[in-house]
Structure 1
C-alpha cells in the first residue's frame, strides 16, 4: 500500500465530508428546494455530472441500491437544477469549515495546504474517472478555504473512482463491498443499515454470495484467507491508483501537505459532526 496516499485520504476525507454532515450544507440544500436528506445528497454529489438520470448515478456511485437512488433522481431536478445543488453543498461546506477551523481558516498554513492539495487535485489523471472528471470541469475557487474543500473533494472522488474500478476487477459488487469491508474490519452492520439501506435480509444474502465464492467463512462472521488476500489487493491497488494524483508534487511537498493538513483535519473531526466510522471504510479515530 502507498502510505502517503492512504495518509492523505484519511486527512482529506473529513474536510470533504462536511459537505454531507454539517448543518450548513444540509440547510442550504433544503432551502434550494430538495426534499429530505437523501434527495439533497444525491442531487449535490451528482450535480457536476448534470441532470443525469438515476441509472447514471447508480452506476457511478456504485454501492447504493438503485431503488434508493431512483427515489431522489430525476425528481430532484424538478425542484432545482444541478447548479443549485452544487452551489448549496459548496457554500455550505465552506461555511462549515470556517466555523470548525476558526482562526486557522485565515492562516498561511491553510493557504499553503490548499495550494498544494489543489495542485495535486488538478494534475491527477482523468481517464476512467467519471465523477472526478465532472468535478474537474468546474471553476477553481480562489478563496483558500473554498479551494481546500474543492481540492479535497476532487481528490476524494479521484480515489473513489479508482476504488470502484478495483472492486469491479476483483468481482466485488457495490452492495457486496460494504459487507466485505465490514467483515474485514469489524464494522457493525448497523452502520450500513443507516447509511446505505442494507437491512438484515439483504445483508444475509450478500454474505451468502461472498461465502459461495470462498471469500467469507462458513459462519458468515469473517473473511477467509482468500477473502483477506483479496481485500489486501483491493486496498493496495486503490492506494496505488490514488497516488497518481500526487505525482505532480515533490516528495518534500507531499510531506509538507500531510503536516499542514493534520491540525486542520483534527479541528474538523473534534467538532463531532463527522461520523467516526465511514461507509467508505475510514475510521476517523485514526486521524491524528
Structure 2
C-alpha cells in the first residue's frame, strides 16, 4: 500500500503533462495549417462559384480594370456581366478568407491560453523554459491580434466588394482608356454635389459602395472595441484579486489588461475615422482617385 501511493501520485502529473503537451502540439499544427490555408485556399474556394477563375492577382486586376472602363462608359447603375462576375468572385474570396481567419483566430486564442497557463504554473521549470513560454505566449497573442484584424478587414471586403476592388485601379496610370475613365471620375467627384449637376449612375453607385465600405468597418471596429474593453476590465479585476505572492499571474494579467486597453483605443480611432469617411465619402474617394489615399 505504501509503495503504491508514490507511483499513483507521480502518474497524475505525468499524465496531465502529456495531455497538455499533446494539446499544444495539436493546436500548433492547426495554427500552421490554417495560416497556410489563409494564404493558399481563398482563391480556390472563391473559384467554386459561378464566374471565371481569375487565378493570380494580376489576372483579376487586369480583368477588373477592363470591366471598370466598360462600366463607366455604359453610364448605367447595373453592373455589366463581366464586372458583376468579378464583384461576386471578390465577395466569395473575402468570405472564404474571413472564415479561415476566424478559425485561425480561435486556434490562436486557445493556444495562447494554454501557453499563458503553462507560464503561470511553471514553478518547477528553469528560467530559460519560463522565458520560452512567455515569448511563445507574446508571439501567439500578437498573431491573434493580426488574425482579428484580418477577420475585420475581410468582413468589410465581403460587405462592399466593389469598393474593395477599387485599389486595383492604379492612380496616375497612362493606360489610354483607363486613364481617361479615372480622369473623368475624378473630375465628376471634384464638382460639389448640388451645384447644378447630377452624378452619373456609375459614380452614384461608387460613392454609395464606398460609404458602405467605411460604414461596415465603423460598426465592426466599434463592436471589437467594446469586446476589447470588456476583456481589459476583466483582466484588471483579476489583477486586483491576485495576491502579490503570485507574481507571474499578476504580470500576465496586467500585460493582457494593458494590451487590451491599447488595442481598444486604436480600434476606437479606426471606428471614428471610418465613421467620418462614411458620413462624407466624396472627399476621401476623390483623394483616392487623385492618388492621395
TM-score normalised over the length of structure 1: 0.27
Structure scoring higher RCO (CA < 8 A, sep ≥ 6) equals 1
Higher helix share: 2
Report which of the two structures shows the higher radius of gyration computed on alpha carbons: 2
TM-score normalised over the length of structure 2: 0.27
